[in-house]
Chains A and B, each alone.
Chain A
Amino acid sequence: MDSQTNHSASAPADVFLIDGLRTPWVNAATLQTSGFGLLDLALQCGAPLLLRCAVPAHRLDSLILAADGESQVHPLRKRLRLDSTTELYQCSHGLSAVALACQQIRSGDADLVLVISADLQATPQEPLLTSARRTARMFDIQDEDASAFAEASRLRAGDAEQGGLTARHRITLFDSQGRTHNEDQADAVAGACALLLASTAGLQQLKRTPLAQLGAGTHAQAPPEYPTLAPLLASTRLLRQRRLSLDDIDQWELPESPALALLSHLAAWQDADFCHRQLELEQPVGRLDPCSLNIHGGSLALGTLSAGDGCRQLLQLADSLQRHALSRGIVCDQHADGHARALLISHPQETSA
């Protein structure tokens, strides 16, 4: 390992994101007519991913399903026809599942981990909206700013769709009647995203070049009145832990719905007083370049899914880093219960050279 990456020297093993696939995000009406179940969606992105990466069923060490509700990972393993020796886990959020996978790989317990997140209903936005309005007032963010940001985000998403950038990791869904669904729908309530994570050994087994390398992750819990502050806390903690400044990060994927919350987040980083008192920083974090933030849009255009969003953002960011040959990015998700997780990812050539 070279000196450039000495900040991650504490991590005993590298974790790579080999590849990922997601289903189109589907709205309630389509979900009704097509009759997809949670596992149907999970399977339809998981199986092609295993096929694409040529992973034989017995090679996979563990399967982590991120989904709300009762445990469904056993039937999923059966339907994916994985070996009975595959370890099974289930948690409720996408990035938590990724963090768990990273942990397993770093500890040496696993070489290949399949993370699948799947949702059948959208996240309730009410508590987040209330919190976003309260924080917006603190940092003097106007509703007009938020709607302008939302509009711009939708435009970015539209451009990415037109340019075929979104479709690179998106599969075509087939329902049991044989009808196809291959485009993201607005106001989505359901979707699934599969990510294949590997250790260096796993990577060598599969003989593939990875999409990205996963670095450190942090977790934060916001005060219960202000659940939307969680991403702010988590990403600040990540920057401070890794001694990084905003300039070191080339791209960001931050939760953007509601837009008021994201704008408050950006304003807070520029607010010396807030940074000093609440984040215990001597200097304000600074101004984040809007061109590096959510460059292909996000949940404002697609809709918010509690389990799937984190994985989708991670995949989107990894893809965009690779395409633009950029070195570092941070992805952060947000949950209605005031938790957030931030994850640093980097271009694999950059660090393993």
Chain B
Amino acid sequence: MTEASNPLTLRERELGPFTYLELQHPAQSTWRHWRLRRDERNVAWLLFDHADSNANLLCVAAMTELGDVLASLRRDMPAALVIRSAKPSGFCMGADLKDFRQLDNEADAVRQLVDAHLLAQQLIDLPCPTLAVLHGETLGGGLELALCCDMRLATPDTRTGLPEIRVGLHPGLGATARLPDLIDPMLAMRMMLTGTALGAEQAHKAGLLDQVAAEHKLRPLIEDALNGRLALRRRNLKARPFRLDWVRRLAALAMRRQAGAKADPRHYPAAEALIELWQRHGGQPDLLLHREIYSFARLINSPTSRHLIQLFFQRQRLKELAAGKESRRLSQLHLIGDSGDGIQLAALAALAGLRVSVGGSAASMSACIGQIRRLARDEAQRQQALDALVFDPQHHGVALADALIDGQQADMEQRRAQLQTLETSLRPQALVLSFADPVEPLRAALGDAGRLLGLRFASPERGALVEIAAHSTSRTISQQHARQLVGQLGCLPLPVSSQPGLLLRRVLAPWLLEAMLLLEEGASADAIEQAALAFGCPQGPLAIAEGWGLSHCLALFERLHGERDTPLAEPPAILRNSVEQGRTSLLDPKRRRWKTGKARSAKLSADQSDRLLLSLLNSAVRACRQGIVSDADMLDAALVLAGYFPPFRGGPLCHARETGHAAIVQRLRELSNDLGPRFAPDPGWQPVVEDAAPGEPLQAG
């Protein structure tokens, strides 16, 4: 990828009769997304050049046009056909998910898929030799198209993969049949089940690519290929045993076990559908192609896939928020204080190539070095990141920094004093990003409070969601800058308004509180956690509370309890006691033993599960109404991407919408009659007229 974006190597690309310069301008041809031209020996070169995007997407329009192209070729058959991409980024990123969003019934989906399959078959049936020349990202539909060609050449930066499983689908343009036919079926299934891409070398070894060569060495290889002199290895010995039903059945058993361990098949049906497809029809590729259509059409209409595709676009939207001007890239940070979040940020920044001066203690510098060692991809990146890190206890780095990161843990007075002294040497456009919660008290310390923003990592992993909290006088340009910084770190920015708990903890607090109340009432902790896990949450509420730290939870609950607009219920005594006793877990071993003596059922009643779920939904609606986050979509994306809400359900508000607001409001009213005002439906609920039977448990599935 980096190689491809270098302007010099761009000029080196082998484009047959096309020149590099003419590709800079829109195509002057009959088709918007394809460029076709024949060279002096009557070899047709077909360049895929999606008109409205920087990367090729196999959208419906491009497919229709491809049909026309093939028809025109059939009228005047060339000596051979070479297919390439005109985009520097890669061959093709796969199907356009926007098209999938519009499919709302199986019949339409089947119709479209049949058309696409006929097209693929036309490409295969073309009497002249066909050659795909690949580079960069060759994913999903793009790879499936390349599989329809007789031969495949590729440059070393090629990555081939079938990532459909990530949006709850399996390949839909014949790869389920053609890939296991071409390469080791176990590898093919692994590619489709995990969605991981193969590098060029791996793919060449597997037999997926016939030859890998650098751009400037492609021409003689293309010559050879078209003249039939290219050595092809098409004897797929490893596929032989899998023609037997019982071998496939055995192999499928192991695959099911592995796939089931990764994702619950009840929630994510694609893996099971794919395995089933292969197990039943793997011996007859033609039938498999046919069945693939119906299986794909069924999956694309499943809520799981719909939600995962929606999540893909939401993630895209967050990424776009992080996009910024190249000239505005931040290049230097200064960290003060020793907090874990600050160290995390410093390490990520150093790994992302920013210079970081660490103004905390020597221990925090050591911690930062440790963090980099853990996170670095390889030795070279580790070295580079460590070189970018400078220990700077006298805060000389402030003068050069684009952003001052406040990771102090001292009390507010000291924090303010420190910021006040450092701000004098800070550049006028530099940001001040603080991990303080809330950031408002720091405003007074700064001469220019418009540059102050709050930050919080949703999780300690790389690529995590980062909440960026703007207070009432934060400048828009500062917010943009901060989002860009988060993007540079490889994280997703989530702009929220600065309120206690920001967005995530604010939304989750009532859920955690309800879980603690249930615990207090005598429900078993296991049952509470199990209910959440069965719903699909990656973590139960009690585990989350312990992850945040109980004293933090208590402080947050108390602050939310003090709010004027629909305050949170009183923090439960069980939490208070645990914090007073300095415990880190709500599960007192002694008390646990006493509880098992009473032999409680391990499952929550429907009522209790409803209490848990509804407290979460109610609080999500409340946060959305209060405008903590820009819109409902963003809130859904945040809770899913932060790993709190199950992705296949699309987020709390999406789940509420699909369950039916009326039913939920009805249920909330019942609960608030029984249990008190904490369940009073938030004014933000909009009772949509939908038919859901009231009173029925809402946690189906």
A-contact 0/1 string along B396-425, CB 8 Å cutoff: 110110000000000000000000000000
Q: Are B366 and A43 in contact (CB under 8 A)?
A: no
Q: Does A47 contact B (CB under 8 A)?
A: yes
Pairwise interchain contact B387-A79, C-beta atoms closer than 8 A: yes
Chain B residue numbers with a CB within 8 Å of A56 are 400
Report how far A180 CA is from B365 CA in the complex, Å: 9
**Residue among B373, B387, B399 facing the most chain A CB atoms (10 A cut-off):** B387
Chain B neighbourhood of A179, CB < 8 A = 366
Asked whether A178 lies within 8 Å of B396 as measured between CB atoms, the reply is no
- The prevalent SS among residues of B at the interface is helix
Q: Which residues of B contact A172 (CB under 8 A)?
A: 362, 391
0/1 string, A78-89, CB within 8 A of B gives 1: 011100000000
A244 at the B interface (CB under 8 A): no
Q: Does B355 contact A (CB under 8 A)?
A: yes
Check B355–A81 contact: CB distance below 8 A.
yes
Instruction: Report if B272 contacts A (CB, 8 A).
Output: no
Interface contact B366-A180, CB-CB below 8 Å: yes
Residue of B nearest to A39 (CB): B387
Interface size on A, residues (CB 8 A): 19
User: How many pairs, one residue from A and one from B, have CB atoms within 8 Å of each other in the complex?
Assistant: 53
Among candidates A51, A79, A81, residue contacting B392 with C-beta atoms closer than 8 Å: A51
Bound: A95/B400 CA distance, A: 30
Cα–Cα, bound, A179→B366 (Å): 7
Interface status of B367 (Cβ within 8 A of chain A): yes
Shortest distance in angstroms between A79's beta carbon and chain B's nearest beta carbon? 5
> B369–A52 contact, CB under 8 A?
no
Answer yes or no: B357 CB below 8 A from chain A CBs.
yes
Q: Does A176 contact B (CB under 8 A)?
A: yes
Q: Which of A80, A81, A177 lies in contact with B369, CB distance below 8 A?
A: A177
Q: Does A186 contact B (CB under 8 A)?
A: no
Q: B370: CB under 8 A from chain A?
A: yes
Within 8 A of A (CB), among B341-389: 355, 357, 362, 365-370, 373, 382-383, 386-388
Which chain A residues lie closer than 8 Å to B382 at the CB level? 176
In the assembly, what is the distance between CA of A176 and CA of B357, in Å? 16
B198 touches A (CB below 8 Å) = no
Find chain A residues with CB under 8 A from B357 CB.
51
Cβ contact within 8 Å between A54 and B366: no
B391 and A54 within 8 A (CB): no
With a CB–CB cut-off of 8 A, which chain B residues contact A52?
392, 394, 396
Cα–Cα distance between A179 and B367 once the two chains are bound (Å):
10
CB-defined interface of A163-181 with B at 8 Å, one 1/0 digit per residue?
0000000011010111110
Q: Contacts A43-B387, A172-B391, A176-B373: A51 and B366 contacting too (C-beta < 8 A)?
A: no
Q: Write out the residue numbers on chain A whose beta carbons fall within 8 Å of the beta carbon of B392.
A: 48, 51-52
- Nearest A residue to B399 by beta-carbon distance? A54
**Does B206 lie at the interface of the complex (its beta carbon under 8 Å from any beta carbon of A)?**
no
Contacts of A178 in B (CB 8 A): 365-370, 373
CA distance A47 to B392 in the complex (A): 10
The reply on B277 being an interface residue by CB < 8 A is no
Q: Would you call B365 and A54 a contact (CB within 8 A)? A: no
Q: Smallest CB–CB gap between B288 and chain A, Å?
A: 52
Q: Given that A43-B387, A172-B391, A174-B391 are contacting pairs, would A54 and B396 also be in contact in the complex, using a CB cutoff of 8 Å?
A: yes
Q: Does B103 contact A (CB under 8 A)?
A: no
Contacting pair B387 A47 (CB below 8 A): yes
Within 8 A of B (CB), among A21-61: 43, 47-48, 51-52, 54, 56
Asked whether any CB of chain A lies closer than 8 Å to the CB of B390, the reply is yes
B426 to chain A, nearest CB (A): 12
The docked-state distance in angstroms from the alpha carbon of A164 to that of B382 is 34
Which of chain B's residues have a CB closer than 8 A to the CB of A48?
390-392, 396
Interface residues in A271-312 by Cβ distance below 8 A to B read none
> Which residues in chain A, 142-181, are within 8 Å of chain B measured between CB atoms?
171-172, 174, 176-180
* B367 close to A51 (CB less than 8 A): no
Return the chain B residue nearest A180 by Cβ: B362
Find out whether the CB atom of A51 lies under 8 angstroms from the CB atom of B400.
yes
A82 to chain B, nearest CB (A): 12
Residue of B nearest to A54 (CB): B399
A47 to B355, CA, bound (A): 10
- Nearest residue, chain A, Cβ from B384: A79
B386 and A176 contacting across the interface, CB-CB below 8 Å: yes
For A171, list chain B residues within 8 Å (CB): 391
| Complex: chain B residue closest to A176, CB-CB | B386
Whole-angstrom distance from the CB of A50 to the nearest CB of chain B?
9
Q: How far is the CA of A228 from the CA of B367 in the complex (A)?
A: 47
A43–B397 Cα distance when bound, in Å, is: 16
Complex-state Cα separation, A9 to B399, whole angstroms: 36
Q: How far is the CB of A326 from chain B (nearest CB, A)?
A: 26
Cβ–Cβ < 8 Å partners of B386 in chain A = 176
Distance (whole angstroms) from the CB of A181 to the closest CB of chain B: 10
Most chain A CB inside 10 Å of its own CB: which residue of B357, B382, B390, B394: B390
User: A54 — which chain B residues lie within 8 A by C-beta?
Assistant: 396, 399-400
Q: Which residue of A is nearest B386, CB measured? A: A176
Nearest neighbor of B401 in chain A, beta-carbon distance: A51
Bound-state Cα–Cα, A255 to B90, Å: 63
Choose one: B369, B388, B397, B399; the contact of A174 (CB below 8 Å): B369
A44 to B432, CA, bound (A): 27
* Complex Cα gap A43–B384 (Å): 12
When distances are taken between beta carbons in the complex, the residues of chain A under 8 Å from B391 are 48, 171-172, 174
A-B contact pairs, 23 of them (CB 8 A): A43-B387, A47-B387, A48-B391, A48-B392, A48-B396, A51-B390, A51-B392, A51-B397, A51-B400, A79-B383, A80-B387, A171-B391, A174-B366, A176-B373, A176-B382, A177-B369, A177-B370, A178-B365, A178-B366, A180-B362, A180-B365, A180-B366, A182-B362
B residues whose Cβ falls under 8 Å from a Cβ of A = 355, 357, 362, 365-370, 373, 382-383, 386-388, 390-392, 394, 396-397, 399-400
Give 18 A-B pairs besides A43-B387, A51-B390, A52-B396 with Cβ atoms closer than 8 angstroms: A48-B392, A48-B396, A51-B357, A52-B394, A54-B396, A56-B400, A80-B387, A171-B391, A172-B362, A174-B365, A176-B369, A176-B386, A177-B370, A177-B373, A178-B366, A178-B368, A179-B366, A180-B365
6 tightest A-B CB contacts, nearest first:
A178-B366, A178-B369, A52-B396, A79-B387, A54-B399, A47-B390
